[in-house]
Amino acid sequence: MRVLLDELMVNYPYFAAMILFIIGAFTVLTRSNLFKKLIGINIMESAIFLMFIAAGNIRGGAVPILDEANPQTVCINPLPSALMLTGIVVSVSVTAFALALIIRLHQSYGTTDARRIAELRKRWHANEGNH
């Protein structure tokens, strides 16, 4: 028990990431509101970002900028942070694109509920015969 608690205390960012990831995935898969799905996606991606950044962090480390006065300073690993910047850009574009799609869906179906949209589509299929 002590060991487990110690591990939890030391690695708490990873546990936080895990919990966030599960919350996100759960939201995406169970909510039928399109906005909530999108928010779930964003939570899930934040979880991954947190995991990466925690992996690059050194507790007590300095900002990774070259300091000529004392070059021996322990710096955090800047690579995961830089990578996650790219990840954030990607997630911003995914969000923007998804929002645009939601606007289009709302224009044509008049709702942002996935279940309702599926119903309307089925009715449409039955009436039209072909698409």
Partner 1 sequence: MTDFILKRVAALLLPFIQMYGLYVILHGHVSPGGSFAGGIVVGLAFIAFTTIYGLKKGRAKISEKATALVESYGTLWYGLMGMVGVFKGAPFLANKIAGIDLGELGALSSGGLIGLIGLGVGIRVSSTMITLFFTMIEEES
Partner 2 sequence: MRATIEVHLPVFVVIMPLFVAFVLPTLARRIRLVEGVVTSTTVLWFLGAGYLASLVLIRNGNPIGYSLGGWPAPWGIELSVGSLSCLFLLMVAGVSLPVALFAAGNMAHEVGGPKRITRFYVLCLLLGGALAGMAVTSDLFNVFVLVEVATLSCCGLVSSRNHPLAAEAAFNYLILATLGSALILGGIGFLYIITGHLNMGFASQELNRIWQEYPHVVWMAVSFLLVGFGVKSALFPLHVWLPDAHSAAPSPASAILSGLAVKGYAICLIKVLYNVFGVALIQELGMHRILTLLGMIAITAGSLFALTQDKLKRRLAFSTVAQVGYIFLGLGLANSMSLAGTLFHMASHAVIKSGLFLAAGAIIATTGNDRISEMAGVGRQMPITMAAFTVCSVSLVGIPLFSGFIGKWNLLLGSLEAGNRLAQAVIILGSVLCAAYLFPIIRVAYFEPAPAADWQDPGLPQKTALILLAAGVILLGVAPGPFLELAKRAALDLLVMK
Classified as helix, coil or strand, 57 is: coil
The single residue among 8, 19, 96, 118 that binds partner 1, judged by CB under 8 A, is: 96
Interaction between residue 85 and partner 1 (CB under 8 A) = yes
**Could you give phi then psi for residue 89, rounded to 5 degrees?**
-55, -45
Sign for the pseudo-dihedral over CA of 51, 55, 61, 64: negative
Q: Which residues contact 52 (CB under 8 A, 6 or more apart)?
A: 80, 83, 84, 87
Q: Which does 94 bind (CB under 5 to 8 A by kind): partner 1, partner 2, none?
A: partner 2
**Minimum distance from residue 35 beta carbon to partner 1 (Å):** 14
- Amino acid (1-letter code) at residue 23: I
The residue type of 29 is L
29 forms part of the interface with partner 1 (CB under 8 A): no
8 A C-beta contact, residue 47 and residue 18: yes
- Which of 19, 22, 79, 103 touches partner 1 by CB under 8 A? 103
Binding of partner 1 at residue 63 (CB under 8 A)?
A: yes
CB distance 57 to 32 below 8 Å: no
Residues of the shown chain interacting with partner 1 in the complex, contacts defined by CB under 8 A: 63, 65-66, 68, 85, 89, 96, 99-100, 103-104, 107
Residues of the shown chain interacting with partner 2 in the complex, contacts defined by CB under 8 A: 21, 24-25, 28, 34, 37-38, 41, 44-45, 47-48, 51-52, 55, 79-80, 83, 86-87, 90, 93-94, 97-98, 101-102, 104-105, 108-109, 117, 121, 130-131
